[in-house]
Amino acid sequence: DAGITQSPRHKVTETGTPVTLRCHQTENHRYMYWYRQDPGHGLRLIHYSYGVKDTDKGEVSDGYSVSRSKTEDFLLTLESATSSQTSVYFCAISLSGTSADTQYFGPGTRLTVL
Amino acid sequence: QKEVEQDPGPLSVPEGAIVSLNCTYSNSAFQYFMWYRQYSRKGPELLMYTYSSGNKEDGRFTAQVDKSSKYISLFIRDSQPSDSATYLCARPHRSNYQLIWGAGTKLIIKP
Predicted local distance difference test score (pLDDT) of residue B42: 95
- How far apart, in whole angstroms, are the C-alpha atoms of residue A25 and residue A33? 12
The C-alpha atoms of residue B98 and residue A33 are separated, in whole angstroms, by 9
Task: Determine, for residues A106 and B98 on separate chains, whether the beta-carbon distance falls below 8 Å.
Answer: no
Which chain A residue has its CA at the smallest distance from B91's CA? A99
Burial A35-56, CB ≥16 within 10 A → b, else e: bbbeeeebbbbbbbbeeeeebe
pLDDT at B28: 67
Cα separation of B74 and A41, whole Å? 20
Contacts A–B by Cβ distance under 8 A: 58
| Average pLDDT per 10 consecutive residues for chain A, totaling 114 residues | 89 97 95 94 92 92 96 97 98 86 94 98
Question: Which residues are CB-neighbours of A62 under 8 A, at least 6 positions away?
Answer: none
Do the beta carbons of residue B73 and residue B33 sit within 8 Å? Answer: no
Q: Which residues contact A109 (CB under 8 A, 6 or more apart)?
A: A6, A7, A8, A9, A10, A11, A21, A88, A89, A90
Contacts of B89 in chain A (CB under 8 A): none
When pLDDT is averaged across residues B76-85 and rounded to a whole number, the result is 97
* Closest chain B residue to A48, measured at CA: B98
Q: How far away is chain A from the Cα of B81, in angstroms, using its nearest Cα?
A: 21
